[in-house]
Amino acid sequence: MVLLARGFYFERIGLMSQNYSSLELNRLEKLRRLRQRGMEPYPTRAERTHTSQQAIQAFESAEASEQSEKVVVTLAGRIRSMRPMGKITFAHIEDGAGRIQLFLRANEIGEEQLEIFNREFDLGDFIQASGEMFRTRTGEITLRVASFRMLAKAITPLPPAKDEVVDGEVIQHATLSETELRYRQRYADLAVNPDVRRIFRIRAATVRALRNFLDERGFLEVETPVLQPIYGGAAARPFITYHNQLKQELYLRISFELYLKRLLVGNLERVYEIGRDFRNEGVDRTHNPEFTQLEFYCAYADYLQVMELTEQMISYTAQQVLGSTTITYGGHTIHLDPPWRRLELRQGILEVTGIDFAQHPTAESLAAAMKAKDIPVDPNATRGKLIDSLLGDYLEPTLIQPTFIYNYPRDISPLAKSMPGDPSMVERFEGYVGGMELCNAFTELNDPLDQEARFLEMGRDYAADDEERHPMDEDYLRAMRYGMPPNGGFGMGIDRLAMLFTDSPNIREVILFPHLRKEE
Partner RNA sequence: GGGCGUGUAGCUCAAUGGCAGAGCAGUGGCCUUUUAAGCCAUUGGUUGAAGGUUCGAGUCCUUCCACGCUCACCA
Handedness of CA 280, 283, 287, 289 (dihedral sign): positive
Contact 152, 30 (CB under 8 A): no
At its nearest, how many Å lie between RNA and the CB of residue 24? 8
Contact between 269 and RNA per CB under 7 A: no
Distance CA 102, CA 85 (A): 13
Q: Quick one: 172 or 319, whose CB is closer to RNA? A: 172
At its nearest, how many Å lie between RNA and the CB of residue 39? 16
Q: Quick one: 287 or 335, whose CB is closer to RNA? A: 287
Interface mask (CB under 7 A) for RNA, residues 245-264, using x and -?
--------------------
Backbone angles phi, psi at 182, to 5 degrees: -60, -40
**Looking at 59-67, 216-224, 284-292, 479-487, which segment touches RNA (CB under 7 A)?**
284-292
At its nearest, how many Å lie between RNA and the CB of residue 49? 22
**Amino acid found at 171:** I
Distance CA 355, CA 32 (A): 75
At its nearest, how many Å lie between RNA and the CB of residue 41? 14
Contact between 122 and RNA per CB under 7 A: yes
Q: Quick one: 312 or 389, whose CB is closer to RNA? A: 389
At its nearest, how many Å lie between RNA and the CB of residue 77? 15
Q: Quick one: 122 or 473, whose CB is closer to RNA? A: 122
Contact between 174 and RNA per CB under 7 A: yes
Task: Show contacts with RNA in window 152-171 (CB under 7 A).
Answer: 157, 159-166
CA distances from 440 to 47, 225, 233, 400 (A): 50, 21, 12, 17
**Looking at 125-133, 270-278, 331-339, 412-420, which segment touches RNA (CB under 7 A)?**
412-420
The residue from 437, 461, 473, 495 that contacts RNA (CB under 7 A) is 437
Contact between 98 and RNA per CB under 7 A: no
Contact between 407 and RNA per CB under 7 A: no
The residue from 40, 180, 422, 474 that contacts RNA (CB under 7 A) is 180
Contact between 415 and RNA per CB under 7 A: yes
Contact between 331 and RNA per CB under 7 A: no
Contact between 123 and RNA per CB under 7 A: yes
At its nearest, how many Å lie between RNA and the CB of residue 244? 29
Q: Quick one: 114 or 322, whose CB is closer to RNA? A: 114
Contact between 175 and RNA per CB under 7 A: yes
Task: Show contacts with RNA in window 491-520 (CB under 7 A).
Answer: 505-506, 508, 516-520
Distance CA 71, CA 78 (A): 21
Q: Quick one: 62 or 170, whose CB is closer to RNA? A: 170
Task: Show contacts with RNA in window 337-396 (CB under 7 A).
Answer: 378, 388-389, 392-393
CA distances from 17 to 12, 124, 155, 327 (A): 13, 23, 15, 50
The residue from 18, 61, 147, 179 that contacts RNA (CB under 7 A) is 179
Q: Quick one: 29 or 337, whose CB is closer to RNA? A: 29
Contact 162, 53 (CB under 8 A): no
Q: Quick one: 249 or 378, whose CB is closer to RNA? A: 378
No. of helices (H) and no. of strands (E), the chain: 16, 21
| Gap between the terminal Cα atoms of the chain | 28
Q: Quick one: 108 or 308, whose CB is closer to RNA? A: 108
The residue from 146, 220, 226, 236 that contacts RNA (CB under 7 A) is 236
Q: How many CB atoms lie within 10 A of CB 387?
A: 24
Q: What angle do CA 44, 47, 51 make, to 5 degrees?
A: 135
Contact 143, 133 (CB under 8 A): yes
The one-character DSSP state at 396 is G
- Gyration radius from the chain CA atoms: 30
| Count of residues engaged in binding RNA, rule: CB under 7 A | 80
Contact between 276 and RNA per CB under 7 A: no
At its nearest, how many Å lie between RNA and the CB of residue 396? 9
**Backbone region of residue 46 per phi and psi (left: phi > 0; alpha: psi in -120 to 50; beta: other values):** beta
The residue from 137, 247, 373, 460 that contacts RNA (CB under 7 A) is 137
The residue from 178, 215, 249, 475 that contacts RNA (CB under 7 A) is 178
At its nearest, how many Å lie between RNA and the CB of residue 468? 4
Q: What angle do CA 247, 251, 253 make, to 5 degrees?
A: 145
Burial bucket for residue 134 (CB in 10 Å: 0-12, 13-18, 19+): middle
At its nearest, how many Å lie between RNA and the CB of residue 330? 10
Interface mask (CB under 7 A) for RNA, residues 451-470, using x and -?
-----------------x-x
Q: How many CB atoms lie within 10 A of CB 4?
A: 8
Distance of CA 201 to the CA centre of its chain: 9
Q: Quick one: 253 or 470, whose CB is closer to RNA? A: 470
Which residues, in sequence order, are bridge partners of residue 101? 92, 142
Distance CA 101, CA 89 (A): 10
Task: Show contacts with RNA in window 60-89 (CB under 7 A).
Answer: 81-88
In this structure, the chain runs to a length of: 520
Contact between 285 and RNA per CB under 7 A: yes
Contact 75, 50 (CB under 8 A): yes
Which residues, in sequence order, are bridge partners of residue 419? 422
Distance CA 355, CA 21 (A): 63
